[in-house]
A = this chain, B = another copy of it.
Amino acid sequence: MRAEILGVGTELLLGQIANTNARWISERLAEIGVDVLHHEVVGDNFDRIVEAFHLGLSRAEVVIATGGLGPTQDDITRPALAAAAGVPLVRVPAIEERLRRRWAESGREMPGSNLVQAEVPEGGREIPPVRGTAPGLVVEFGGGRVYALPGVPAEMREMMEGTVLPELSAIAGPSTVVSRSLRCVGMAESKIAELLDDLFHGSANPTVAYLAGGGEVEVRLTAKAPTRQAAEAFIGPLAEEAAARLGDVVFTTADGSLEEAVGRLLRGSGLTLACAESLTGGELGARITSVPGASVYFIGSAVTYTAEAKRAVLGVSRETLERRGSASRECAAEMATGARRLFGADLAVALTGAAGPEPHGGAEPGSAWVALEAEGGFAHQRSLRWPGDREFVRRLAEQAALDLVRRHLSGLPLPS
């Protein structure tokens, strides 16, 4: 099956935003064995959108369009799709009712212009939105099928995963692609590649891809076979061998984030966790609580951004603050002790340092200290130093803190 990806939006042609949707969709389609032969981008221009649908269906069986489904006058993908298919738009009462209900629930009156979102090209169907208000559309004509999805990445992804990918997988049939991910923390991408490359060297099937970012490396193994069972049998032993070679830097062999892996361990242990944060400003707590149900094991985080707050809220000693500074090994340890006591938690992990761009609390930008305190007075500390921008330094400090909790709960060796 061949697919074409069509981005709609003048902001793309003006270079105001990058076409990240096309990249994401391409990656997902590759995983299910659908060939993408063209990407195309047009602006918010009726005639050119209509032409682009015709061109797309002359080159592929499936066109996946993103953007132009909002309620404003520059959103014209809906009428252009109807025109390309040669059918009128019809208002669907069930969609209208849902729109009105969502607006009513939020206590606001729905502007009349939003009603266009209740229209569907005759003979087509909607993809109901979970997150936003714009429904997606599916219309068949010209020997193929068009999916029109919202341009907002989160709304687009939801519809790709819930509707488009399952439908295309079902049609694409007996060539199945199976991927397995090993997600790693605490080892560089190049080192991981050195350990694994001979397993895959020169192989077109299975393949290995290394995706590094945010202080993690995802090793993605992909195999293609006529059936899912055959692909699984093909990839299984390789994934096991790769996991064995990588050892304890692998935090999950399924999908999911490091905070989810830590959450599973906390849930399994019955222990509770608290945090004390400085340079990360609350992001560590935010990540831990991004996992639904985190309230079972997470009690809270004390974000103490000033030296005085570290003293008053967490009981860090004046002596440490004056002699060692608020970005120091000693301060991190006292913050962990203070957070464990303040929140009455079984475990507390603390983070302090200088995110940059300026030195802070007596430390160079890019320095961070992480401390863990557990029951029985057990404590462990770690110091880190990375060059990088503010956001990157914060992220790596969080990774180090989460990894310390993971290793402690799993009984793995702790890095120093």
Please give the distance in Å from A183's CB to the nearest CB on chain B: 14
Contact of A42 among B38, B188, B193 (CB under 8 A): B38
Question: Which A250-275 residues sit within 8 Å CB-CB of chain B?
Answer: 275
**Are B36 and A39 touching (Cβ within 8 A)?**
no
* Residue of B whose beta carbon sits closest to that of A155: B213
What does DSSP make chain A's interface, helix, strand, loop or mixed? mixed
Task: Decide yes or no whether A389 CB sits under 8 A from chain B.
Answer: yes
State which of A80-88, A160-168, A226-234, A300-308 sits at the interface with chain B: A300-308
State which of A140-148, A240-248, A289-297, A370-378 sits at the interface with chain B: A289-297
Contact of A189 among B71, B102, B179, B189 (CB under 8 A): B71
Interface centre among A24, A71, A357 (most CB of B within 10 A): A71
**Are B342 and A312 touching (Cβ within 8 A)?**
yes
Interface centre among A43, A190, A280, A292 (most CB of B within 10 A): A190
Contact of A22 among B19, B38, B111, B193 (CB under 8 A): B19
Please give the distance in Å from A376's CB to the nearest CB on chain B: 22
Copies in the complex: 2
Which A residues form the contact surface with B (CB < 8 A)? 7, 10-20, 22-30, 36-45, 48, 70-74, 102, 105-108, 111, 113-114, 130-132, 152, 154, 177, 179, 188-191, 193-194, 197, 201, 207-213, 220, 222, 275, 277, 279-290, 292-295, 298-306, 308-309, 312-313, 342-344, 355-358, 360, 366, 384-392, 394
Q: 26 A-B contacts, Cβ less than 8 Å apart?
A: A10-B207, A10-B209, A11-B209, A13-B36, A15-B30, A18-B23, A38-B40, A38-B42, A39-B41, A70-B212, A73-B201, A74-B209, A105-B387, A111-B190, A282-B301, A290-B391, A292-B357, A292-B358, A292-B390, A293-B358, A300-B304, A300-B309, A301-B303, A302-B302, A302-B303, A309-B343
